[in-house]
Amino acid sequence: MLKYRVLKTDSELLEFNKMYKLSFKGKETLGHNLPVASLKKRDKVVGVYKGTKMVAGYTIGNIPLTLHSHITKDNLKKMQELYPLDTCYDLSNIWKKGISGVKFMSSVWPRIVIDTIFFNLKRPNIIGYVVTGHGRTDAYNKAKPYYIQASDVKNEINIFVFTRINLIRAFLLLSAKVFSKPILNLLPTTNASQFNEAKK
């Protein structure tokens, strides 16, 4: 059974930082750079534990630190014309290591959605991030957020704004994608020659 803990001590934040970096090890992404000093500025840092081992995590904050680190001045100006920063809050640093995609989707993502929806009810807009080429990109696209900064270049960070409805829609799309894989893997495959014979 997974347990959730709001992290506050230096040792807990150091462990989050360590596991976050390890979750990106071997992947060509920009997301692994997360200083502990930056974590301390988040309003809520959540660690997910399997026994005594931290296996996933995420952060939520009123100050969009990831946004400030990656957005251009022009795009920030355009964003604030539509979504002033005082109407937004930030969901970022979502990671997993040591649990399956199905477990993460069935247990951790619902908790992320609930935490995010009720984090700051005075602010209607959520700032989110996805790396180009990441598995969540398609689901986020179909959820139709407003992209503030987007790139087709692999492994670059894309920044978007979405509402609570967009977040729920993204979760449902991600769930459908993850849970369909085991079912599809159980289905018998047909090679090309068999397919051609069947058409005759």
Residue 197 lies in a domain: no
Q: What is the mean pLDDT of residues 164-182?
A: 80
* Residue-wise pLDDT tens digits, 7-63: 999 999 999 999 998 887 755 555 556 889 989 999 999 999 999 999 999 999 999
Q: For residue 99, is pLDDT > 60?
A: yes
* Residue-wise pLDDT tens digits, 129-164: 887 766 666 777 777 888 898 877 777 788 999 999
Domain span at residue 39 reads 2-181
Q: What is the mean pLDDT of residues 177-192?
A: 54
CATH value at residue 139: 3.40.630.30
Residue 166 lies in a domain: yes
- Lookup result for tokens 């790396």: 131
Question: What span, in angstroms and rounded, lies between the C-alpha atoms of 90 and 67?
Answer: 9
CA torsion sign for 109, 115, 121, 125 is negative
Q: Which is higher by pLDDT, 178 or 88?
A: 88
CA 53 vs CA 4, 26, 46, 66, 146: distances in Å: 11, 21, 13, 26, 36
Predicted local confidence at residue 169, as pLDDT = 87
- How many domains is the chain built from? 1
